[in-house]
Amino acid sequence: PSIGVVVVAAGSGTRLGRATPKAFVEVAGRSILSWAMDSVRGISEPIELVVVVPAALVEAARSQLASLGLPFAAVAGGTTRQQSVQAGLSVLGDGVDVVLVHDAARPFTPVEVFERVIAAVRSTGSGVIPGQPVIDTIKGVDRSGLVLETVDRSRLTAVQTPQGFPRAQLAEAYERAVEDVTDDAALVQQLGGSVSVVAGDPLSFKITTPHDLEHAEELAARTAG
């Protein structure tokens, strides 16, 4: 397959306040990682899938995802998201020419978002990220909390995943990466690569806090019912 999908699930998820690494926390009886596979499985063309998990959970991930009937490789991640992405990229086969990097922590991302990103990477030949309009008013503040400015929110977009790239562009960005950044598009842009935004989806929210986990439980109950 020419599409590689790297699902990063190696974070500890400290802000969730659980002992279990976030992607292995259960929502309605299934791990967040397992929920994340539902949309990946819906992608209409063949993909090569790599799941990046904490080193101690590689075997657990293999057995947990075996029943999904979707071929995948499971590899150990690193201490930063960037290292985890790199670990995933390093095992993709030679036939892959478009790579999507997706957070397992966004398990309800509709498959349409994946399809939209793939189509846009192909048509632009460059990086593509899903984004959503910013709803809140955003202020710049100093350390003491004093407001310095109001940011023009029409110029802002809240970025989600999957982030898609021509493989060569992403691989070069990772080879030359110096700073640690939280998203792949930032690395590509540091090298002067262009990145554009397509519509994301509210269902792509990232499970970060206990409140997000409650929201996820509600959505899962609706899906099951």
> Which residues of the chain form contacts with ligand C5P (CB under 6 A)?
8-11, 22-23, 52, 77-81, 84, 103-105, 206, 208
Burial class (CB in 10 A: 0-12, 13-18, 19+), 115: middle
Contacts 24+ apart (CB under 8 A), 191-195: 193/126, 193/127, 193/169, 194/124, 194/126, 194/127, 195/126, 195/127, 195/128, 195/129
Q: How far apart are CA 2 and CA 48, in angstroms?
A: 8
* Residue carrying the six token digits 């503040």: 141
Name the minimum Å distance from CB 192 to ligand C5P. Answer: 25
Which of residues 11 and 152 has its CB atom nearest to ligand C5P in the complex? 11
Name the minimum Å distance from CB 44 to ligand C5P. Answer: 24
Name the minimum Å distance from CB 160 to ligand C5P. Answer: 11
Which of residues 40 and 95 has its CB atom nearest to ligand C5P in the complex? 40
Which of residues 154 and 182 has its CB atom nearest to ligand C5P in the complex? 182
Which of residues 150 and 158 has its CB atom nearest to ligand C5P in the complex? 158
The residue with its CB nearest to ligand C5P is 11
